[in-house]
Structure formats: structure tokens, C-alpha cells
Structure 1
Amino acid sequence: MRIILSGGGTGGHIYPALALARHILKREEGAELLYVGTAAGLESKIVPEAGIPFVAIPARGYSRRLSQLGPVVKEFASGLARVQSIIRDFRPQAVLGTGGYAAAPVLLASIWRRIPVVLHEQNAIPGAVNRYLAPFASRVCLSFEASRPYFPRRARTVVTGNPRASEVAAVDRSESRRRLKLEADTKLVIAYGGSRGAAKLNQVLVSFIKSGWLPPRVRLIYVTGEIYYKEVREELDPLPGQVQLYPYLKEMPTFLAAADLLISRSGATTLAEITALGLPAILVPSPNVVNNHQHYNASLLAEAGAARLIQESEFNPRRLRRELEDLLREEALSRMAEASKKLGIVDSAERVYRCLQEVLRRDG
């Protein structure tokens, strides 16, 4: 099996592709994988660290400003030319795209060359690249059933879940809590603003911690995002004993498996992780994303009773205090955990892998 993977810009597009890549390498002896992304995106750092071969192409996100249209088109054309060369050299049997502007040149070149394309959509509201290219794809793998109406009828959609869920579901909770030295009666709350951090969440969390409102027998692991870490560390000096501060967590699945509650944005990867584990959450969708997709992601969980949704404009220290007092009761956590677990698809990586196998048998 020789596969090109592409998707990038944010962790939401990258982590599902990497989870699938690791699953393919387990299932297919001698599989050859190549990840194509941009030098400016997070993928240029994360993918090589994961041990997956990586090649960068020129590409940038589209802009609604006419003054930016020329550079975007020029870079897209350069990226398309570079992809043609990559395809000639690597000779992929299929291409998997997980969305984001980085994937567009790769997918278009593959479709033009009649190479089978499989798309994976992480969000409830599909992104532009996946939506426009779905009619030309051999398969469109969805994380949510609710996404299906947004695609053309002729698109070959199938609900697989998000491959990241498979990796997280395999982590043992008891072992994770032992590694983090958590006592049985200690509740672990994780606060996390996504792969880049979130200014508003940091502002509220800093005020909340400084107010001394963290309940007893609760440990807070607070992930600031690398660009905010120094500022937050200075604001919280001296750091309360109940709080551990990190710029970024490489072993996020271990921490999530040990947790009792998550406070976070509602990116697609985060939702895949928490539903795989049955982890209750307070979700604060970012208002600064295309199509407001984080709101729709969070709504799916909130409507199922698996999370509390708080709009960013309503998120403040007092509201957070009330939510924690309400949710950190055992019966409340149990109800939310059960509802969350029902939404998880823990064999997602295998489902997407089987889609690839089927496409290769039929179209490869």
C-alpha cells in the first residue's frame, strides 16, 4: 500500500491523518506513506516528529480580500506544480485528504491524474475543500452522521468517526492516573485551548485561579498554548499547589484518560478524543473559525447531554465556578460520561483503513 496523506494548518486536520498513518503501518507490512503539507503549517513540525516522511509545498489559505487574491493564486499554482512532481516520483495508489488549504493542490492534482481519493471530514459542518471535491472522491469518510446532508447526493459518504479516537480509546485510565500520581478521591480537570492556545480561555482561567475558587480535592492541569505560556506563568506566580501549568502536552491521550472533566474549545480532534473516552466537558467554541464549525461540533455533544456549551461571550470566572460546582458531583459526571461514550466510534481508524482497502480493490 502506497499512500499520500495531506491536510494541515491546524491540529484538527493533522492528528487524524497521523492516527490513520500509524494504523496503516500496523496493519500493512511494507506500507509506504508520504505526508504532503506546508512549511508554515503545524504539520511541518508534528509530522516529522511522528516519524512519517514529510514534503512541503507552497500553499496558503484563501482570503476574501481582493488584494490578497493574486498571491494566493500564484502560490496555489506553484503548489500544484510541485505536487505533480511529487506524484510522479512517489506513484501513490491512493491519496487521503483530511481538509485544510494544504490539501487542496494535492487532491486536485490526484483527481486530475485519476488517482483514487479518499476524504476525511472531522467537523459537523464540512470544510470548503472537502465539500467542493466530494463529488470527485472515491469515498468521503464522516465523523458525524449530521454532516451527510451538507454533501451532494452523489458523494459516496460513510460514517467512520475520527481516527484519533482509536488511539485515545486504547489508553488505560488506571495506569494513566497512576502515572500522574492521582489519589482515588482527587478529581482531575484539564483546561486546554487547542493546539495553538486560546487568549479568551487563558484570560478567564487566570482570573478564576487567582480568585482561589478551585474546589478542594481537585487538581487542575492547565495547558496554555506555547505562545501564551510565559505570560500566564508570570500572572500566576506563585503557582497554587493544585495547579500544574504546561505550554503543550505531547502525551495528551494519557492526561485525558486520567481526567474527570475537560474545559476546552470544541475542535474536531478534541471531540473525537473525549467521546472515545466518555469524558465530560465544558466546551467554549471559538467564534473565529470558518462556518462557526466549533459551535456546531459542541452543539452535537450538548444536545446529547455529553457536554456543557458556553458561548465565549458568556464565559467568565463566575460562570466557570458555577459549572464546576455543579458538574464535579459524582452523579453529574457519571451521566455526562455515559452520554459522551455513546457518541464515540473507537474503531474509527480501522473503518477508514477498510475504506482505503475497498477503494484500492475497486479503483486502484
Structure 2
Amino acid sequence: MKEGGPVKIIIAGGGTGGHLFPGIALAEEFMKNRKADKIIFVGTDHGIEASVIPREGFTLEFVRAEGLVGKSIYKKIRAAFYLLLAMVDSCRIIRKYRPDMIVGSGGYASFTTVFAGLFLTTPTLILEQNSRPGLANRILGRFADMVCVAYHESISFFPKNRTYLTGNPVRERVLRGSRVSALKLFGLDENKFTVLVFGGSHGASSINKAMIDALKYLPDMRTHLQFLHQTGEKDYEFVRNAYRNSGFSGMIVQFIFQMAEAYAVSDLVVSRAGATTLAELTAIGKPSILIPYPYAAGNHQELNARKMEQMAAAFMIIDRELNGRKLADMIRELYTNEKVRKTIQQNSLALGQRHAAEKVFALASSLLSRKSESSV
């Protein structure tokens, strides 16, 4: 790579928004600072990236990968077979584009692409979003040129001389969402208190059901509250009909592509506690009710949510304790008690890492420069 010349970057990862969106945040930072850069995303055809990346305007390549964790013996054997296919696909993609760097942001596609990059001596960087890294990143982190972590607790899992505490990259548009545009986009009432509800990129049945059950405990608030609810595909009809029958207004959708506007228009967020969601919530200081996913690796969602609760930066309900009445009580308190709401907002903002993408970009640029100098 020549100094100041065009740079080709592969960003591998996805499956869920939690793995994909930090990669997009970094891609935006590269494009903003190096206009001639070509960004290639690598993912799977069944992950969220298949629908999101084309809308972002980046090149997308697929590998044939499946998860190994929490599957039956048959599915693990099948996944192992696809792992080999994904390795072949990854080598093909790397040879096709000859990237200057490979960034792994987590997910099925990340492991084989970064591993192949190591084998082909391409500079590699890993983004670790969680306080307790998964097995794939723990393995890759031993050999990657750089590891960027979101939590101090993650540092001990990786080589200290190549690990940097940067925070979790957040897309710039999330920081600059327009409430006025969002009101028009979602058809919402500017005079009502807006509750944004989502359970991750694929939805969450327990949150969907609890939210619908909560409505019957809030009948006196029909004229004060409105909802923007991402259901996922499975529960969409059920949730939409339930809102109609309850008399509450709002917008019910399977998936929200315009999350920046969704955050901008919301006064309160009800969501899971994935690392990327928390990074976005704290970057913009949104009051939230966190419902950690109970089967997250190492129980990291509950650990992260509990930390926020202890710092008065969020409310939390454990999934097994989730019910409509408890959720309704918290929504009511956060609507009626402006002092509590503002305290949570301030504490949440204090935890935010708004410049994480810039930090990762600076480190990536230094790695590219070092590799360029060593090749001269």
C-alpha cells in the first residue's frame, strides 16, 4: 500500500446487528477519511447483512458458514462441513480482492475470513464487543495483529501488547438522528411519549408477549403513549393485531432499517442488552429498560445490563422474571417521573464511547502504515 493511496478493506462478520453494525461504523470512518477506499463485507446469505449491506452501498460477498454452538450432533457435523466450505470461500475472496487489511467483527463469517487472512499473511484486526469474548475471537486474538475491545474486562483474554480499549464503534448516523424526520418517517405524534421496543435484529418473543401483556395495565395512558415496535418476522401479525385491539397508537414493523431515526424519536427504549445496543444507547443517552437475552454466551448480556442498572444508567428485568405488569410499572415510572428519567439519561451518556469508531480507525491506520513500511 502506498502512503495516501487507495486502501481495500475486508470487514467480515454479521449474522446479527450486534456483529454487523460496528463493522459498518468502522467502514463509514474509513470512507470519511480515505475517500478512495473500497470496503468489502463478507457474511452469509442468511444473516442480517444480506439485507442491510446492499442498502448501505458496500460490496458484499458470501461464505457458506453456520454456527457450531448449541446445536444437535447432526447440525454440528453439518456446521463443521460448512466450516471447511467457508474456509475455501474465504481464501477465494481474499485472493480476489487482495485486501490491505481484514477486520473481523464477529459472527459466523468472521472466523474463517480472519483465519484465512492470517494464513495468507494479510494484516488482521478484531473487534470484540462483549465483556466475555467468545471462543472464536479468543482463538483468533492470539494471532491477530490488533484486537480492539469495548470493555476493560476483555483485555485479559488477549495479548496485552496487541490489545486496545477503544469502546464499541457506533454508526455516526445514530449520533445524528433527526426527531423531525423520524416523526414523518414513522407517522408518529410529536406530542406523545414514544416507547421504542425491539428484541434484537430478529425480534424476541418474550419481549413481544410481555409488551402486549403490559398494555392492559396502561389503559389510562392511551392518549399519552405511542409505540414503535420491531417484532421480527414470526410475531409480526400477532403483535400488530394486539396493538390495534388495545387502542394504543404507533408503528409496528418486522424490522427497522432506520435505527438512527428510531432512537431519535424515542423517549424510552425497551430492548435486549447486546453490546452494540448498549453502545448505541449510551452514546446518545437514551433511558432504557433492558431485558438481557438469557442464553447469551457467558451470560454477558445480564452482566452488562446489571452494570448499567447499578450505575443508575438503566432499568433491568431478567427474562425469567419478565411479565406485563412489571414492564408496565417501569414504563409508567419512567413516563411520570421526569427526574428519574433525566438521571438515567445523564448516567447513560457518561458511560458512552461516542468516538470509538475514530479510535479503531486510528489504530487500523497505524497498522496499515506499519505493514506498508515493513514491505518496502
Please indicate the TM-score interval, normalised by the length of the shorter structure: over 0.9
Instruction: Tell me, in whole angstroms, the C-alpha distance in 1 between the residues paired with 2:73 and 2:190.
Output: 57
One of 280, 298, 320 as aligned partner of 1:273: 280
C-alpha contact (below 8 Å) 2:52/2:257 kept by paired residues: no
One of 208, 219, 235 as aligned partner of 1:228: 235
One of 16, 23, 36 as aligned partner of 1:10: 16
C-alpha contact (below 8 Å) 1:177/1:258 kept by paired residues: yes
The equivalent of 1:22 in structure 2 is 28
Matched, 1:355 2:356: no
C-alpha contact (below 8 Å) 1:125/1:296 kept by paired residues: no
After TM superposition, the structure 1 = structure 2 runs for residues 285-296 of structure 1, keeping only pairs within 5 Å, are 285-296=292-303
After TM superposition, the structure 1 = structure 2 runs for residues 294-309 of structure 1, keeping only pairs within 5 Å, are 294-309=301-316
Shift of 1:66: 3.8
C-alpha contact (below 8 Å) 2:24/2:171 kept by paired residues: no
Change (3 A) 1:183 1:44: closer
Matched, 1:248 2:255: yes
Local SS of the residue matching 2:339 = helix
Instruction: Tell me, in whole angstroms, the C-alpha distance in 1 between the residues paired with 2:131 and 2:102.
Output: 22
* % identical aligned pairs: 32
Q: Which moved more, 1:61-70 or 1:250-259?
A: 61-70
Provide runs of 4+ in structure 1 moved above 6 Å. none
Matched, 1:333 2:341: yes
Instruction: Tell me, in whole angstroms, the C-alpha distance in 1 between the residues paired with 2:325 and 2:245.
Output: 22
C-alpha contact (below 8 Å) 1:135/1:155 kept by paired residues: no
Local SS of the residue matching 1:135 = coil
Stretches of structure 2 lacking an aligned partner (at least 5 in a row) = 1-6
One of 314, 318, 321 as aligned partner of 2:328: 321
Stretches of structure 1 lacking an aligned partner (at least 5 in a row) = none
Change (3 A) 1:356 1:153: closer
Matched, 1:50 2:56: yes
Instruction: Tell me, in whole angstroms, the C-alpha distance in 1 between the residues paired with 2:200 and 2:244.
Output: 23
Instruction: Tell me, in whole angstroms, the C-alpha distance in 2 between the residues paired with 1:173 and 1:351.
Output: 28
Q: Which moved more, 1:286-295 or 1:28-37?
A: 286-295
Normalising by structure 1, what TM-score?
0.93
The equivalent of 1:217 in structure 2 is 224
Instruction: Tell me, in whole angstroms, the C-alpha distance in 2 between the residues paired with 1:45 and 1:220.
Output: 24
C-alpha contact (below 8 Å) 1:210/1:236 kept by paired residues: no
Q: Which moved more, 1:16-25 or 1:98-107?
A: 16-25
One of 176, 189, 193 as aligned partner of 2:195: 189
Q: Which moved more, 1:83-92 or 1:231-240?
A: 231-240
Change (3 A) 1:165 1:25: closer
Change (3 A) 1:323 1:196: same
C-alpha contact (below 8 Å) 1:266/1:285 kept by paired residues: yes
Counterpart residue type for residue 167 of structure 2 = G
CA RMSD of aligned residues (A): 2.0
Matched, 1:238 2:233: no
Instruction: Tell me, in whole angstroms, the C-alpha distance in 1 between the residues paired with 2:264 and 2:131.
Output: 24
Counterpart residue type for residue 96 of structure 1 = V
The equivalent of 2:121 in structure 1 is 114
C-alpha contact (below 8 Å) 1:134/1:155 kept by paired residues: no
Local SS of the residue matching 2:87 = helix
C-alpha contact (below 8 Å) 2:215/2:246 kept by paired residues: no
C-alpha contact (below 8 Å) 1:94/1:360 kept by paired residues: yes
Local SS of the residue matching 2:141 = helix
Paired residues, what number? 362
Change (3 A) 1:290 1:250: same
The equivalent of 2:208 in structure 1 is 202
Q: Which moved more, 1:193-202 or 1:246-255?
A: 246-255
The equivalent of 1:152 in structure 2 is 158
